Amino acid sequence: MDRGVAGCVCGGDRDGQEAAAEGHYRGFACFSDRGPAVYLWQGLSERAETELWQRKAQYRAELLDNYIPLAKKGGPWGWGLEFPKIGGQDSVDNEYLLAWIIQGYVGATALILLMLETVGRLVVQAVRARTVRDRHFVLTLLGIVVAIAFTLSTVFLGSQSYELLFLLIGWSQAVQPREKMEPVREARLNEAASEAGLMRVYS
């Protein structure tokens, strides 16, 4: 690399940055005063990747051991945003646990019930859908919500994630497949939905 390189920035989560510092990085961006950023990629070795996942699993296991007793002490309304940090684990990578700590079991239960009710409603709407197009749309929303529900057990929500989550939940709760449709129009929509193609979108 020439002398025009100003520096390198490694991306990823907390464990990924630690791996990058040890030289086992997935990728990094080098910035030069002679041109745009150049992205270089280097795969993790099998051993380094195994160690990385082991550290992640160990961190989350210790997270539950350390913070579940704290969440129980918070009572129904929790500790609020300024909750005690335990064992140097400043990042609570579990949104359900974080909601329990900050908002108590009332907030955690409300979040879980909201996710379950959204999934249940989408399942019902998928069964009731009259057209392939409506069913595909509802099942797509269902897949997104289920994936988010599982992912929240390994990450916390931050920045715009809150808005996006409740936007998706709002769409899922409000979706209403058509009750009736003209037979000719329904046949055309079903035929169009079953064929791959490109659609021009005007903005």
Rounded to whole angstroms, the Cα distance separating 83 from 61 reads: 19
Residues 25 and 92 in one domain: no
Rounded to whole angstroms, the Cα distance separating 188 from 184 reads: 6
Residues 124 and 74 in one domain: yes
Asked if residue 136 lies in contact with residue 193, where contact means CB atoms within 8 angstroms, the answer is yes
Asked if residue 44 lies in contact with residue 27, where contact means CB atoms within 8 angstroms, the answer is no
pLDDT tens profile 135-172: 999 999 999 999 999 999 989 888 888 899 999 999 99
Residues 103 and 160 in one domain: yes
The pLDDT value recorded for residue 1 is 42
Asked if residue 86 lies in contact with residue 67, where contact means CB atoms within 8 angstroms, the answer is yes
Range ranked top by mean pLDDT from 26-35, 59-68, 107-116, 122-131: 107-116
Residues 62 and 159 in one domain: yes
Residues 67 and 146 in one domain: yes
Rounded to whole angstroms, the Cα distance separating 120 from 124 reads: 6
Asked if residue 129 lies in contact with residue 190, where contact means CB atoms within 8 angstroms, the answer is no
The single-letter code of the amino acid at 167 is L
What lies within 8 Å, CB to CB, of 188 at 6+ separation is none
Virtual CA dihedral for 135, 95, 19, 41, nearest 10 degrees? 30
Residues 19 and 79 in one domain: no
Strands (E), the chain: 5-10, 27-32, 35-41
Average pLDDT of the residues in 36-49: 58
Domain that holds residue 123: 58-190
Residues 92 and 186 in one domain: yes
9: phi then psi, degrees, rounded to nearest 5: -125, 125
The pLDDT value recorded for residue 170 is 93
The pLDDT value recorded for residue 159 is 81
- Estimate to the nearest angstrom the gap between the alpha carbon of 199 and the chain centroid: 28
- Classify residue 199: in a domain, yes or no: no
Rounded to whole angstroms, the Cα distance separating 104 from 98 reads: 9
Q: Count CB atoms within 10 A of the CB of residue 116.
A: 11
Residues 77 and 147 in one domain: yes
- Classify residue 14: in a domain, yes or no: yes
pLDDT tens profile 74-87: 999 999 989 999 98
The pLDDT value recorded for residue 172 is 92
* Mean per-residue pLDDT of the chain: 76
Average pLDDT of the residues in 48-77: 89
The pLDDT value recorded for residue 133 is 87
